[in-house]
Amino acid sequence: MSVNVETVKHIAYLARITFDKQEAEAVTAELNAVLDWGLLLDEADIAGIEPMVSPVQAVLPMRADKVTDGHKQADILANAPLTEEGFFLVPKVVE
């Protein structure tokens, strides 16, 4: 697969990019080089190779999925200027 100068100019028009003739030819050469490199991947023998989900095979530790309050109420309320019965105490703002 390859692209020509007209295709590059059309893509540039769609992307609202302006190229002069020399730049369009350079970009055409670069795009063709990228596409040729991509075709090299088709030549790789991948028979019997499992697809990778991640390049790093790591097993993450799991914890029990239980709902808790975090046991940090006292620590959190220690930062509050005023508390009452385990809650933040704030000034009344609605009459």
Inter-axis angle of helices 5-14 and 21-42, nearest 10: 100
Higher pLDDT, 88 or 58: 88
Structural domain contains residue 53: no
The confidence score (pLDDT) of residue 10 equals: 94
For residue 17, is it within any domain? yes
In terms of C-beta density within 10 A (0-12 exposed, 13-18 middle, 19 or more buried), how is residue 58 classed? exposed
- Range of 14's domain? 5-42
- The residue that leads in pLDDT, 16 or 55, is 16
Domain at 29, CATH number: 1.10.20
pLDDT tens sequence across 86-95? 899 998 888 7
* Amino acid at the residue 94: V
Strands 87-88 and 83-84 come out as antiparallel
- Tokens standing for 10? 């059309």
- From the list 24, 21, 2, 3, the residue with the least C-alpha distance to 12 is 24
The pTM assigned to this predicted structure is 0.48
For 28-57, the pLDDT digits (tens) are: 999 999 999 988 888 888 888 888 777 777
